[in-house]
Chain A
């Protein structure tokens, strides 16, 4: 019985991790597209989650994401990652202008076995998850209405907040937290799979003139 549940849980965990990594990929692409970090011609349109989303065709960006996301996946599997942050920086001044933060919480296994509420969560279908993801991506798309426009040329960086004891490959290194002074933040929707919960948030530098 115990073995069986363990197997089931690993299957769930794998599925959940896969969903989350996929979501990260689309979210990162959407943000880079919406915020104009790359040219809009560098993206192609794909259907996903029942909506049309963008996916990069820029080789350097593709390579970067290809190397980044598997590591995130392994951290997710190990439960060592706390949050993933996409920071948008001004190219000239190297000042952090926006932080797109995705907090990852592992839904406790004990809790899920105890509570009836979590039992409901167990029943969460892929369709429900997709609906939630779609809502977040819609929010990302609509967030350009309130975010200040990026006038200067910008670049981006992706930061991972991991546990102290997480395994760190050689191509990863410690980073500065890219703190935004005088930040304003907006909490976006969240979505949850059977094993993880992802809260999205965007904080941005307030326009000093205002």
Chain B
């Protein structure tokens, strides 16, 4: 089995393989085909057993193969195969049991026995089962044996076949040998023949070559003759053509001659006719002469026409030469037309302005006429001065009004003062009246007292009289008549005096004291003295009162005087002064106000003027008399303009040249009418366009140079910025960044101990800038940081945290202290950085 693995695998391919082999050498066909038949039969047998993958069957075949040689059918041996196992099992059980019986007690044995019996029973049951299975298997086996028989039969048949084929093969081999012999013989013969034939062939080829050579020479000869003939033919054709042409020409000539003849004949006829006519006309010689004259005139006229024609053609030529200038003139005319239109616009504007001006003049005339009428206004020459005057007048009016208002106010204040004074007077009058009243009251009281005193006096006189009477009666001796008479007289005097006082309170009784002295009676009694005293007192009081009254009156008078004086002084002296002052001040105020208003006006007008002037200055106007406006002849704008102008000029010349060329082509076409020639020549480039292109090229080169300068500047700026950025990152974050190719970045810490202690990061596949840690400059270094990497990068996915923690770790480890390593951003790395990034930039 194991010796056939290749066949097993390529069982189906086998015939093809044989075919291939047979194709290799055809002579081995018969033998190999025979063996292949055999092999095929065997393989088919094995392959049949193998294609069914059941192992059971395979073992069976393995078992069956030797069995088939010994005896065809042996069913009992199979069952026997199973029984010894059971027996052995039984024996083992029993032997166990006997061993147990020796060693252990009887009940245990019985128990074991029963168990073993049960086991036996179960085993027997299984045995039966197995037997039934065996029976089933035997039936299967029988079936299989039947199949085997069939197969054996077929094998035998195939063996027969094989034999037959072997015989045939032998035969065929024999035949083949025979044939081979024959073939070899024939081959030899054929080889011989071949040699002969080859010789023959070589001979023949030689012959052929000779013949060919001969042929070729012949051919070339023929060709030559043919060519000669052809040339002859051509010559002949040419001659023929020329002859034909001659003939044609002759024909033409003959035709023309004929035509001439015809013409001549016609002319003859005409002349004959004319002759006839002349004959006819000869009678009218005058007419003929006239005709001659006319003819002469006409010829002269024709001559003149020809002359003019010549002149015109000359002129035309001249004009033709002038034709480009005409174009220029056209251009000029166009520009002039434009200018003309501008002029028209200006004229329109001017007309408008004139109309406006006229209107303004009219207005002015109106104004001036009005001003003429108004004779009182002088020195008004312009609207400005008029306005000024008007403004000043207005201001004056305003001031006057204001002044009037001030005066009114003043009057009002004066009125108030007067009212105050009046009230004062009234008060004083009242006071006066009150004083008078008081005095009158006092007077009345005094009168009453006087009356009382008179009554008293009367009563006293009565009493005196009574006393007198008494004395007269009682003591007539002692009675002094004179005494009473004196007393009466005194009394009368008193009375008189009193009366007087009553009559004229104002006038003081001048002789009260005189009256008093005589009032003392010679034989003055106590009462009379008292009365006199009282009287004296009263008179004194009266006097005092009168005095007081007079004083008061005086006072009133003086007050009145004072009031009047005050009024006068206040109203006259003081007020005049004030008024004067006021007037002066108001005058000055008025003047100042006037001035102020005028100045304000002037300021505003000046402001306006300033604004307009400033506007003009802002627009760029200037005084042409005093100022000269200069610019450098070569300034940027003129240069720019010159460039435009020069390009325009170049284009114009180019255009002209092209037009000329086109004109030439057109003329050529008109002359030749050949379109192909024109096509050939139309691709020629005019020299000016070439020059233009060259100029453009130069400009572009300059532009390019400028752009390059810009790019380099940008690059430098960028480089500087990048360096700055890196330095900033280094100083802020403590890592030196180095940009490598393919978007990788190398980081080296500020506190790393060695230069190769670095990390390399790479960006994502899609270059988004998301970084991944992919390695470092030193494998050991990376290994030493495995814990950190695992903690931060792997578990938490944070590179910044990893870097930060590393920075702290390294800082703690480092011997450099807080200073850190110097940043090695040398030129080398820098340049590398710059260029690589620049390349990236460019590629992007």
B621 at the interface (CB under 8 A from A): yes
B632 touches A158 (CB 8 A): yes
A164 touches B629 (CB 8 A): no
B636 touches A185 (CB 8 A): no
* A65-108 at interface with B (beta carbon < 8 Å): 67-68, 82, 85, 87, 89, 91, 94, 96, 99, 101
User: Which residue of the partner chain, among B619, B630, B637, B640, contacts A160 with CB atoms under 8 Å?
Assistant: B630
* A155-170 at interface with B (beta carbon < 8 Å): 155-164, 166, 168
Q: Which chain B positions have C-beta within 8 A of A183?
A: 615, 618-619
Q: Which chain B positions have C-beta within 8 A of A175?
A: 629-631
**How far is it, in angstroms, between the C-alpha of A166 and the C-alpha of B630 when the chains are bound?**
11
A41 at the interface (CB under 8 A from B): yes
* A161-195 at interface with B (beta carbon < 8 Å): 161-164, 166, 168, 171-181, 183, 185
**How far is it, in angstroms, between the C-alpha of A198 and the C-alpha of B794 when the chains are bound?**
71
A160 touches B620 (CB 8 A): no
A161 touches B628 (CB 8 A): yes
Nearest residue, chain B, Cβ from A68: B632
A134 → B minimal CB distance (Å): 24
User: Which residue of the partner chain, among B615, B619, B622, B637, contacts A157 with CB atoms under 8 Å?
Assistant: B637
A156 touches B620 (CB 8 A): no
User: Which residue of the partner chain, among A39, A68, A203, contacts B710 with CB atoms under 8 Å?
Assistant: A39
Nearest residue, chain B, Cβ from A203: B618
**How far is it, in angstroms, between the C-alpha of A162 and the C-alpha of B620 when the chains are bound?**
14
User: What per-residue 1/0 map shows which CB atoms of B470-487 lie under 8 Å from chain A?
Assistant: 000000000000000000
Q: Which chain B positions have C-beta within 8 A of A51?
A: none
Q: Which chain B positions have C-beta within 8 A of A85?
A: 620
B637 touches A156 (CB 8 A): yes
Q: Which chain A positions have C-beta within 8 A of B632?
A: 64, 67-68, 158, 171-173
B630 touches A155 (CB 8 A): no
**Given A94-B641, A156-B637, A163:B628 Cβ within 8 A:** yes
Q: Which chain A positions have C-beta within 8 A of B619?
A: 179-181, 183, 203
B325 → A minimal CB distance (Å): 28
B770 at the interface (CB under 8 A from A): no
Q: Which chain A positions have C-beta within 8 A of B129?
A: none
B633 at the interface (CB under 8 A from A): yes
A161 touches B627 (CB 8 A): yes
B627 touches A155 (CB 8 A): no
A177 touches B620 (CB 8 A): yes
B118 at the interface (CB under 8 A from A): no
**How far is it, in angstroms, between the C-alpha of A69 and the C-alpha of B772 when the chains are bound?**
60
Q: Which chain A positions have C-beta within 8 A of B462?
A: none
Q: Which chain A positions have C-beta within 8 A of B839?
A: none
B621 → A minimal CB distance (Å): 7
* Interface residues on chain B, number (Cβ under 8 Å): 28
B229 at the interface (CB under 8 A from A): no
A201 at the interface (CB under 8 A from B): yes
User: What per-residue 1/0 map shows which CB atoms of B54-91 lie under 8 Å from chain A?
Assistant: 00000000000000000000000000000000000000
Nearest residue, chain B, Cβ from A103: B617
A172 touches B633 (CB 8 A): yes
User: What per-residue 1/0 map shows which CB atoms of B401-436 lie under 8 Å from chain A?
Assistant: 000000000000000000000000000000000000
**How far is it, in angstroms, between the C-alpha of A68 and the C-alpha of B632 when the chains are bound?**
7
Determine which residue in B615, B622, B629, B641 has the highest number of CB atoms from chain A within 10 A of its CB, and name it: B629
A46 at the interface (CB under 8 A from B): no
Q: Which chain A positions have C-beta within 8 A of B628?
A: 161-164, 166, 168, 174
B345 → A minimal CB distance (Å): 15
**How far is it, in angstroms, between the C-alpha of A162 and the C-alpha of B627 when the chains are bound?**
6
B696 → A minimal CB distance (Å): 18
Q: Which chain A positions have C-beta within 8 A of B584?
A: none
B294 at the interface (CB under 8 A from A): no
Q: Which chain B positions have C-beta within 8 A of A144?
A: none
A166 → B minimal CB distance (Å): 7
Interface size class of A (residues with CB under 8 A): 35 or more
A61 at the interface (CB under 8 A from B): yes
Q: Which chain B positions have C-beta within 8 A of A39?
A: 710
Q: Which chain B positions have C-beta within 8 A of A201?
A: 617-618
A182 → B minimal CB distance (Å): 9
**Given A64-B635, A64-B636, A171-B633, A101:B618 Cβ within 8 A:** yes
B51 at the interface (CB under 8 A from A): no
**How far is it, in angstroms, between the C-alpha of A56 and the C-alpha of B466 when the chains are bound?**
153
B268 at the interface (CB under 8 A from A): no
Q: Which chain A positions have C-beta within 8 A of B714?
A: 41
B111 → A minimal CB distance (Å): 115
Q: Which chain A positions have C-beta within 8 A of B672?
A: none
Q: Which chain B positions have C-beta within 8 A of A173?
A: 630-633
User: Which residue of the partner chain, among A41, A101, A164, A166, contacts B617 with CB atoms under 8 Å?
Assistant: A101
User: What per-residue 1/0 map shows which CB atoms of B105-136 lie under 8 Å from chain A?
Assistant: 00000000000000000000000000000000
User: What per-residue 1/0 map shows which CB atoms of A131-172 lie under 8 Å from chain B?
Assistant: 000000000000000000000000111111111101010011
Q: Which chain A positions have C-beta within 8 A of B615?
A: 183, 185
User: What per-residue 1/0 map shows which CB atoms of B593-628 lie under 8 Å from chain A?
Assistant: 000000000000000000000110111111001111
User: Which residue of the partner chain, among B631, B639, B640, B710, contacts A159 with CB atoms under 8 Å?
Assistant: B631
**How far is it, in angstroms, between the C-alpha of A33 and the C-alpha of B218 when the chains are bound?**
95
Q: Which chain A positions have C-beta within 8 A of B625?
A: 164
B634 at the interface (CB under 8 A from A): yes
B710 touches A160 (CB 8 A): no
A171 → B minimal CB distance (Å): 6
A158 touches B618 (CB 8 A): no
B636 touches A61 (CB 8 A): yes
A58 → B minimal CB distance (Å): 9
Nearest residue, chain B, Cβ from A92: B644
* B40-63 at interface with A (beta carbon < 8 Å): none
B638 at the interface (CB under 8 A from A): yes
User: Which residue of the partner chain, among B618, B627, B634, B639, contacts A164 with CB atoms under 8 Å?
Assistant: B627
**Given A91-B640, A159-B629, A163-B628, A178:B620 Cβ within 8 A:** yes
B636 touches A180 (CB 8 A): no
A96 touches B620 (CB 8 A): yes
A3 → B minimal CB distance (Å): 32
**How far is it, in angstroms, between the C-alpha of A159 and the C-alpha of B625 when the chains are bound?**
17
B713 at the interface (CB under 8 A from A): yes
Q: Which chain A positions have C-beta within 8 A of B710?
A: 39, 41
A158 → B minimal CB distance (Å): 7
A180 touches B626 (CB 8 A): no
The 7 sampled A-B contact pairs (Cβ below 8 Å) are A39-B710, A87-B637, A158-B631, A160-B630, A177-B629, A183-B619, A201-B618
Given contacts A87-B620, A96-B620, A164-B628, 7 further A-B contacts (CB under 8 A): A64-B632, A158-B635, A160-B629, A160-B631, A174-B628, A176-B629, A203-B620
* Chain A residues packing against B (C-beta within 8 Å): 39, 41, 60-61, 64, 67-68, 82, 85, 87, 89, 91, 94, 96, 99, 101, 155-164, 166, 168, 171-181, 183, 185, 201, 203
Cβ-closest 10 pairs across A and B: A185-B618, A175-B631, A203-B618, A157-B637, A177-B620, A179-B620, A155-B637, A155-B640, A160-B630, A183-B619
